[in-house]
Amino acid sequence: MDNSAFGSAPASEPSVARLIVAIMTTDSTGPDPARPPIEGWPDLLTVALGLSTVEVRELCRFLTGALAARACAGLFREIGRWAGMRGSPPDPLERGLRALGARCDCEALEVLARG
């Protein structure tokens, strides 16, 4: 497969997915560490959500903190808050997350941390 369109990082660099997993595993609600990583997931995330890898990481951190302070409301409440802080509408991001199988903030965090 040709990955050049995604600008893949050299194999020696730690992948965003690994960094996110490192962040997530400090939290008891983190993903199952036994789950095998999905190849290319960070690239897919940035394309599906229209965010840079740095923004995906920021959103992941924000959601981790927000969901530690407030239980998930079963909505994209924190996603909307994060988009609002950046001055962008929540809809393209929410649509991307729904397309990836998330229906609320805690599922969005699972989607972001997969890979």
- Give the nearest distance from C-beta 29 to Zn ion in angstroms: 10
- CA atoms 101, 106, 108, 109: torsion sign: negative
Which C-beta is closer to Zn ion: that of 48 or that of 106? 106
CB 108 within 8 A of CB 102: yes
- Give the nearest distance from C-beta 98 to Zn ion in angstroms: 13
Distance (Å) of CA 43 to CA 18, 39, 66: 13, 9, 25
Residue 98 structure tokens: 């729904």
Q: How many CB atoms lie within 10 A of CB 105?
A: 26
Interacting residue ranges for Zn ion, rule: CB under 5 A: 72, 104, 106
Which C-beta is closer to Zn ion: that of 43 or that of 78? 78
- Give the nearest distance from C-beta 50 to Zn ion in angstroms: 22
Which C-beta is closer to Zn ion: that of 19 or that of 106? 106
